[in-house]
Amino acid sequence: MHVETEADEIQLSPEDDCFAIRQAARYVTQLYDRHLGRVGLKTTQFSIMFHLRRRKWMTMKELADAMVMERTTLVRAIQPLQRDGLVYTEASRSNRRVLTVMLTTAGEERLMEARDHWHAAQNEFEQRFGTQRAANLRDELFDMTKR
Amino acid sequence: MSKPISHDDCNCFALRQAARYVTQIYERHLGEVGLTAAQFTIIAKLARKPGLTMLDLADSMVMERTTLVRALKPLQRDGLVISEPSEHDGRTYLFSLSGAGKETFAQAAVAWRAAQDEFESKFGRSRAKALRAELFNMTAS
């Protein structure tokens, strides 16, 4: 019964670009989350903090655009970081309706700790999938999102 | 191990960003029939193979159970997906589409085709095909 289901899966959605990309994203996210979880971070949170690393602050909109992410998704991902004191948000001085985000010192430290775990995730993935093949895939994907 | 990290090197970021990008395209179309991309996948699976368990669905979509439950709930609430206890094990539920669910799938398939055409006209049809092959190969391992 289970074997039958799996045989059918191969036929399933073989043309769906959206499914193919989303499924692969979930697959690598599970792998990276497993490593980054050791310093209490999710992949999205690591990515947000990484975007903020060299900037004093970014507006929510800049951050959402940089990550190709819906604002509501971004807000939801930022909330735990804010609660744990890793990022700090405040209204822009020039426009009170614009929300700005920055890393705290604790956030910078956590990001440093997370680096080795990111490398470990990266190595695990590339050992399975191939380093050159991964590089080619990234080129294709970044080319897609650059527009 | 203290090499600086670059976003250009991150496999996870590349995939997740691409996933968000295509999801925005597909959900603009699928939104016309009130579905998210994840919900469309669930409905498409159940249309082809009724009577799947939660575990079947989660495994075949490489999806966390909690994510799956969140996507399924509105479909059950709206009566598009129905469930019944398995004959072998009363604690296991088998999920299928209702009549309304089948109708929604038929409409959603048209919206999906429009999204697919929009994406492939931008990215290239044969390029998209090659990319899918790479990605399915990755997740099949």
Q: Residues A22-76: pLDDT tens digits?
A: 999 999 999 999 999 999 999 999 999 999 987 778 999 999 998 888 888 899 9
Contact A134 B11 (CB under 8 A): yes
- Distance between CA atoms of residues A60 and B110, nearest Å: 35
Q: Give the three-class secondary structure for B70.
A: helix
Phi then psi dihedrals of residue A96, to 5 deg: -65, -20
Q: Which listed CATH number (2.30.30.220, 1.25.40.10, 3.30.70.380, 1.10.10.10) goes with B37-112?
A: 1.10.10.10
pLDDT per residue as tens digits for the range B7-30 = 789 999 999 999 999 999 999 999
What pLDDT is recorded for position A97?
A: 87
Determine the pLDDT at residue B1.
46
Instruction: Calculate the dihedral angle through the C-alpha atoms of B49, B53, B59, B65, rounding to the nearest 10 degrees.
Output: 130
A21 to B18: CB separation less than 8 angstroms, yes or no: yes
CA A133 to chain centre: 20
Question: Closest-CA residue in chain A for B48?
Answer: A12
Chain B residues with CB inside 8 Å of A141's CB?
A: 14-15, 17-18
Pairwise CB contact (< 8 Å): A133 & B37: no
Yes or no, beta carbons of B12 and A16 under 8 Å apart: no
* Nearest-by-Cβ selection for B5 from A10, A21, A118: A118
Chain-chain contact of B18 with A141 (C-beta, under 8 angstroms): yes
Query: What would the two tokens of residue B79 be?
Result: 């009566």
User: Domain A41-146 carries which CATH code?
Assistant: 1.10.10.10
In chain A, positions 96-125, which contact chain B (CB-CB < 8 Å)?
115-116, 118-119, 121-122, 125
CB contact under 8 A, A24 and B8: no
The minimal CB distance from B115 to the residues A18, A20, A118 is found for A18
Interface check for A4 against chain B (CB to CB < 8 A): the answer is: no
For A93, counting Cβ atoms within 10 Å of its Cβ (0-12 exposed, 13-18 middle, 19+ buried), the class is exposed
Q: Can you tell me the distance from the alpha carbon of B12 to that of A31, in angstroms, rounded to the nearest whole number?
A: 9
pLDDT in tens, A93-120: 888 889 999 999 999 999 999 999 999 9
Interchain pair A27, B38: CB under 8 A: no
Task: Give the pLDDT confidence score for residue A6 in this predicted structure.
Answer: 42
Question: What pLDDT is attached to residue A124?
Answer: 97
- pLDDT above 50 for B101: yes
- Residue B55 at interface with chain A, using a CB cutoff of 8 Å: no
Count Cβ–Cβ pairs < 8 Å, chain A vs chain B. 159
ipTM for the complex shown:
0.89
Q: What is the dihedral of CA A129, A133, A139, A142, to 10 degrees?
A: -10
pTM over 0.90: no
Confidence tier at B5 by pLDDT (50, 70, 90): confident
Listed in sequence order, the DSSP H helices in A42-104 are: 43-51, 60-66, 71-83
Is B14 within 8 Å of A116 when comparing Cβ atoms? no
A68 contacts on B by Cβ (under 8 Å): 17, 20-21, 24
Give B41-71 pLDDT, tens digit per residue. 999 999 999 999 999 999 888 888 888 999 9
Whether A17 has its CB under 8 Å from any CB of chain B: the answer is yes
A85 to chain B, closest Cα gap in Å: 23
Pairing mode of beta strands A99-103, B81-85: unpaired
